[in-house]
Amino acid sequence: MVKPTIAYLFELPSMVGSFLAAGGQGLNRELDRMDILETPYPDVEEFLEPNEFVFTSFWNSKDNKEARVGLIKSMIRHNCAGIAIMAGLHLGGKIDDEILALGNQYDFPVISIDTTLRYSDIIKEFYCFKHDDGDAPEMGLTDVYAILSDIDDFHSHMDIPRLCKSLARNLGTPVIILSRDAMFASALDLPEETKRKIITKIYDVRTSSNCPRNASISLPINHSLSVLCAFWGATSVVAAVISNTGFSRHNMGLLHGATRFVASRIDKMSRADDGPANINEIDAKLQYYCFYVSKENIGHMAAELAKHCIVLDVNEVFNYAICLIDQEKVSSGTLFKEYGKIIETFAPRCFVFTEMCFELARIRELIKILIQQINHMHLLNGIFTFGEISILSLLYIAPYSFKKPIIDFNADTLDYRVNPLSLDTLRLFIVLKSITKVSELLHLHPNTVKYRILKSIKNPALDTTNITADMWTLDYLIPLENAKLENIMRNPREIAQ
């Protein structure tokens, strides 16, 4: 019978959302038992045992950092297997830096677990797993040689797409590699939404305050559990999408070592390669308008986009580009005409834009927020301001019980059954507060914009109201954003018009 190790924990269904925060070299530590920490340090010290793994939220020492760090030191002395910390309950979502430093220094695994995890589930799954007599097959020497050959080949040619495909072939599982400027993937026979969920998880953990240089995270992909093992370099990510029923557990150690090497080499390539426009290389003294554009085969239109703007980043896996427009090359009075020209020329699936110009530091923050939120919503389509994306993201995760009363309350005013394009036009008008801006953005005559807006109204008393009057407040924005989101979920392939 295979003896369970820390790495096996990430194959358990209830460990979804968990990741390794420190002690990456200790993944092969054996564990014999699991316990929930109830007794505070130092009283608990006499009960600690070798190969014991502990779960805790540190509720008993939430105000005593010295006790928390003391517990980790004691567990290391007692040769315990590791610790899982639910930092979201009592520690403000952050594991102490001293604990992470100890984990990395002594190869002592420190796992960050989500607040939705139930200890009873994880312990039940662990003991069912522990008593499973099915042994995983050892990786053959031929397979090991093939992996090492892949690494040697990459060292010589530095060809990331080629490495991605060969690793996937020899590991028998999809591989994703992210460099500073681009993303590469082997043949991912997965739905678009699934791929976006995977990359969302990578970004979420990568930007976490607890994310170390190397990390392992778990993620449910289909009906059965799959695991996404991601290993970080300074700027790069190498990840393998692994099914717990179709990937040998014994491959884990080799995969971990190989990807660490590859990530470090890609980091060096990113620093040496000029590549696409880099946010750190653009004139920091200037201000820029920013927009996100998504379309199938985005790489083919990058050169054309460059005629209209600065193409900051092109992601050909998820088909989007981030672009900047120099404030000095377009005035605020002609900005929406420029946006409308880009929309008409490229017919994007999704177009997200700023109304104001920003310095590079703010642009960097905007891009980070935008990519994380859009990835959460997967198949977003339409034309939006940056500010709307945060509202849509919150509505996407909000329970129906929260949204229904708002929808029902506005049902007497808004006609949800009208053509979605009319609701979209009304939504943009409420956000932009200008018929002219909406008409320029959508390349429509102002009278057509007014017609669409009035078509969205059910209340006869409002039909003759001046549509530029103050009654058009943000009161209607939430139900309109929700209507847009519901339409996207029903018609994910609809193209923005």
Query: Do residues 221 and 190 make contact, with C-beta atoms less than 8 angstroms apart?
Result: yes
- Is 380 in the same domain as 406? no
- Confirm whether 405 is domain-assigned: yes
Q: What is the pLDDT along the chain (497 residues), one digit of tens a residue?
A: 567 888 878 777 777 678 888 888 888 888 888 888 878 888 888 889 899 999 999 988 999 999 999 999 999 999 999 999 999 888 988 999 999 999 999 999 999 988 877 777 777 677 665 544 444 444 444 456 677 677 777 767 778 888 888 888 877 777 888 776 566 777 666 666 667 667 766 666 665 555 555 555 555 555 444 555 556 666 677 777 776 555 555 555 566 666 666 776 776 665 444 344 545 457 777 899 999 998 887 877 887 888 888 888 887 666 788 899 998 888 768 899 999 999 999 999 899 999 999 988 888 888 877 876 766 555 678 999 998 888 887 887 777 778 888 888 888 888 888 888 988 998 899 889 889 999 999 999 999 998 998 888 876 665 545 555 544 555 677 788 777 777 765 554 444 44
Query: Do residues 204 and 380 make contact, with C-beta atoms less than 8 angstroms apart?
Result: no
Residue keyed to tokens 């049902």: 411
- Torsion angle of alpha carbons 376, 381, 387, 391, nearest 10°? -50
- Is 108 in the same domain as 230? no
- Confirm whether 303 is domain-assigned: yes
- Is 111 in the same domain as 147? no
Residue 81's domain comprises 6-130
- Is 257 in the same domain as 180? yes
pTM: 0.53
- Confirm whether 281 is domain-assigned: no
Positive or negative: CA dihedral 139, 141, 142, 146: positive
Residue keyed to tokens 């097959």: 137
Beta-bridge partners for 237:
178, 232
- Is 40 in the same domain as 72? yes
The domain that contains 205 carries what CATH number?
3.30.450.40
- Is 355 in the same domain as 406? no
- Confirm whether 447 is domain-assigned: yes
CA-nearest of 471, 395, 485 to 433 is 471
Last residue of a domain, one of 103, 130, 157: 130
Last residue of a domain, one of 272, 297, 321: 272
Q: Where is 7: in which H helix or E strand? A: helix 6-9
Distances (CA, A) of 285 to 22, 104, 290, 358, 422: 39, 40, 16, 10, 40
Distances (CA, A) of 59 to 1, 94, 99, 102, 109: 36, 14, 16, 21, 20
- Is 18 in the same domain as 81? yes
CA-nearest of 211, 214, 234, 6 to 94 is 211
- Is 403 in the same domain as 387? no
The domain that contains 80 carries what CATH number?
3.40.1390.20
- Is 255 in the same domain as 333? no
Q: Where is 110: in which H helix or E strand? A: strand 110-112
- Label residues 356-384 b or e (16+ Cβ within 10 Å = b): ebbebeebeebbeebbebbbbbbbbbbbb
- Confirm whether 283 is domain-assigned: no
- Confirm whether 327 is domain-assigned: yes
- Confirm whether 496 is domain-assigned: no
The domain that contains 293 carries what CATH number?
3.30.70
Last residue of a domain, one of 359, 376, 391: 391
Domains: count for the chain: 4
Positive or negative: CA dihedral 23, 27, 29, 31: positive
- Confirm whether 495 is domain-assigned: no
Residues 185, 160: Cα–Cα separation, whole Å: 9
| Ordered alpha helix ranges (H), 311-419 | 335-346, 360-377, 386-397, 400-409
- Is 15 in the same domain as 62? yes
Query: Do residues 472 and 454 make contact, with C-beta atoms less than 8 angstroms apart?
Result: no
Phi, psi of 86 (to 5 degrees): -95, 80
Residue 239 DSSP one-character state: E
- Is 316 in the same domain as 416? no
Positive or negative: CA dihedral 493, 356, 339, 337: positive
Close Cβ partners of 379 (under 8 Å, ≥ 6 residues apart): 192, 193, 196, 488, 492, 493
Positive or negative: CA dihedral 267, 269, 274, 275: negative
- Is 52 in the same domain as 114? yes
